[in-house]
Chain A
Amino acid sequence: DVKVTQSSRYLVKRTGEKVFLECVQDMDHENMFWYRQDPGLGLRLIYFSYDVKMKEKGDIPEGYSVSREKKERFSLILESASTNQTSMYLCASSGWESSYEQYFGPGTRLTVT
């Protein structure tokens, strides 16, 4: 079974803090993705990575950065957290062996106060 894990289920941070969200997959997938999900706005792609050290902006990259130093790990960084970044953050991975089916982690509910 594909496993995608995220470092925290719930996180509370203060405005201006630097926040790290970690995602790890165990299927040697080349692609990894970060989404945020908000009521009424659905799932929106923040960043994705198709290889180690490679990254591409998604639809809403402003205020975020990412890091992929190892194939199994993809980190989302909020450089200076703001209240409008309060959201559910979802990580996913996919690979050619599984026909690029995307597998999601359990999500991190981030609250910025």
Chain B
Amino acid sequence: KQEVTQIPAALSVPEGENLVLNCSFTDSAIYNLQWFRQDPGKGLTSLLLIQSSQREQTSGRLNASLDKSSGRSTLYIAASQPGDSATYLCAASFSGGYNKLIFGAGTRLAVHP
């Protein structure tokens, strides 16, 4: 069964800290991996997409990496700010899966001033 797991479930850090969110998946036949941000009561905002042929993607203070052989992805947030407080979701699609995403449970991040 294809599964996506995120660790930790929750994280609280002081402003300015660099942090890493972890995501693992059980099937190496990954097609895409996508990181999302969700604010309370809102929809999901796509942050980064990594295709299976790529190793990492960067957008501003965010960097996401993909290691298919170990079944892991990390989201690195540099110089965290209180506005980064949200739930971060990792989701993977697998070959032959009609591009359906399988979601992790998310990491709830709180950045305090």
Q: Which A positions have Cβ atoms within 8 angstroms of B?
A: 31, 33, 42-43, 45, 48, 50, 56, 58, 88, 90, 92, 94, 99-107, 109
How many angstroms from the CA of A3 to the CA of B44 in the assembled complex? 12
In the complex, the answer to whether A104 meets B100 with C-beta atoms within 8 Å is: no
Q: Does B32 make an interface contact (CB < 8 A)?
A: yes
Q: For residues 56 through 104 of chain B, which have their beta carbon under 8 Å from a beta carbon of chain A?
A: 89, 91, 93, 98-101, 103-104
Classify chain B: how many residues form its interface, as a range: 20 to 34
In the complex, given contacts A45-B101, A104-B36, what are 7 additional A-B residue pairs having Cβ atoms less than 8 angstroms apart?
A42-B105, A43-B89, A45-B100, A50-B98, A90-B43, A99-B49, A100-B32
Q: Which applies to chain B's interface (DSSP): helix, strand, loop or mixed? A: strand
In the complex, the answer to whether A101 meets B103 with C-beta atoms within 8 Å is: no
In the complex, the answer to whether B46 meets A102 with C-beta atoms within 8 Å is: yes
Nearest B-chain residue to A49, judged by Cβ: B98
Known contacts A43-B89, A56-B98; is-contact A102 B34 (Cβ 8 Å): yes
Known contacts A45-B100, A58-B100, A100-B93; is-contact A107 B32 (Cβ 8 Å): no
How many angstroms from the CA of A102 to the CA of B43 in the assembled complex? 12
The distance from the CB of A58 to the nearest CB of chain B, in whole angstroms, is 7
